[in-house]
A and B are shown apart, each in its own frame.
Chain A
């Protein structure tokens, strides 16, 4: 019996296979327009990587915005539940997780058993989301990795006052074309600060509690995590693969469902 978690996100689909000794295999692939297709190709990929077939006894739990469309899953679980369980699996001491996804940001508090206690989310608007960051990278004509690296050189940050991603874009353009132009690392520092200040607003709503872990694709950016840590005033727990945390949580739940005791 293998436990499998699939997280169909707005930008990427994540899949994790969990065995008795921990993570067997994981994949991250781009979501297509149809959630069902995304989930199916993620399933094939991850099974391939784990070296098991569809015929093997599988228990599948789906999560993420597209979870309803995953017809082959035994159960669909809320993203918050999976996020908490996945974080708890990786960091048992974590009481809070900050998930920064492509279109959604979630700040969640959990108890020592990895059960959700309180959370606040933001999915109405692109401000502070991964899409926002991606759009800014396109504007700066840099990759997200390059941006993150360059940001570490910044000694001060450019002010970006707009909340809206569309208006912030115009602000960044005016920074670039200013005479003399604002240094790129300062602009990036300003962009990161604007992302983090949206996250901090969510943190205030639930109240910060240690230890704090991060999750979601945005946490792949060192620069963002560093800015977040500065604002929090302490270090955060960063998973090796921050994108798969929710899928991992789903796999943990699938394991429990199948009666397999994992950790």
Chain B
């Protein structure tokens, strides 16, 4: 079955087409003034050369700020969920994501199942966004692709004490007039943005592993500064800009594939006045080894046939309605040496609490 994810961002539209859990094609194009046209353009470009047409897609999920204007989408999901989901597909160990987009910047904290635990975003101010970098590149007469590389060659960054894009631009012009090297000005600006992004990340708490998504993640100068400021080596995927669209495609596969499908995640549990108590088992990942059943100190899990002859982990029927009473949750159980998460080499188990 074919699934698609489409991410209409403020500056670029991204589309990903997936078949049987692998990416068939992906595309990035500029966002035009009309989101509807942009969305058709993106999906058509993504389908080009694959021999597929729009009718072949079983389910489409749209995300990004223009997501409500995608006429062929079956569902809309926020880009925050999609980024967490998308990065989880590449690196299940990632817990902290910095998404640096065209007009906003987000810090996302997620769990092993690619679910969002917490997030903060800056969409009020252009400081630290792609738009900021665009403005600076323009002032310096450079292309967006060049600035990151050039900043890396600097040995002495010019300190910028503003993050406001408007002020930074006039400050950059002043420094340029004073004859300071472009690379040093760029290094200073990259540093200012990195500092600001780290402040954003601290509000969601920084946990290993760390990844950067969005268009700015392609800027090597920025990645280097973030590595330095965050103090963690970021895991970067092949194309960080399509992560949101990829997450949307993964959601599409989950929603459109039906339960029991290859990608299906099964949730057990409930939510009550005190919180959400769900255990998620990713049947696409679970290889039926049974180690989690042995590892769980509270005997919550069991193995069961999945209908096609294989074994899959599941939460015992009798504890599903009183899950929170039996299982202390990963936050406290995670401290035990042995638990279901550590036992599972496929990282197929997730807890919401």
Contacts and interface: CB of A to CB of B under 8 A. Distances in A.
Contacts of A126: 164-167
Given A33-B174, A33-B177, A124-B162, A166 B167 contact: no
A125 B122 CA distance: 14
A167 B127 CA distance: 11
A113 B103 CA distance: 48
B254 to A, nearest CB: 34
A166 B178 contact: no
A164 B162 contact: no
B163 A167 contact: no
A90 B295 CA distance: 80
Interface in B132-161: 132, 135
Contacts of A162: 124
Interface residues of B, number: 18
Nearest to B104: A167
A131 B170 CA distance: 10
Contacts of A36: none
Contacts of B165: 126, 164-166
A139 to B, nearest CB: 13
Contacts of A153: none
A29 interface: no
Nearest to A166: B126
A167 B103 contact: yes
Interface string A154-166: 0000000011111
Nearest to B123: A167
A166 B177 contact: no
Nearest to B170: A131
Nearest to A135: B166
A132 interface: yes
B131 interface: yes
A229 interface: no
A103 interface: yes
A131 B167 CA distance: 9
B174 A164 contact: no
B125 interface: yes
A166 B166 contact: yes
Interface in A214-240: none
Interface string B326-339: 00000000000000
A94 B164 CA distance: 33
B58 to A, nearest CB: 36
Given A33-B174, A33-B177, A131-B170, A166 B131 contact: yes
23 contacts: A33-B177, A124-B162, A124-B163, A125-B125, A125-B127, A126-B165, A126-B167, A131-B166, A131-B167, A131-B170, A132-B166, A135-B166, A162-B124, A163-B124, A164-B124, A164-B127, A164-B165, A165-B126, A165-B166, A166-B126, A166-B135, A166-B165, A166-B166
Given A33-B178, A126-B166, 16 more contacts: A33-B177, A124-B163, A124-B164, A125-B125, A125-B127, A126-B164, A131-B166, A164-B125, A164-B127, A164-B165, A165-B166, A166-B131, A166-B132, A166-B135, A166-B165, A167-B103
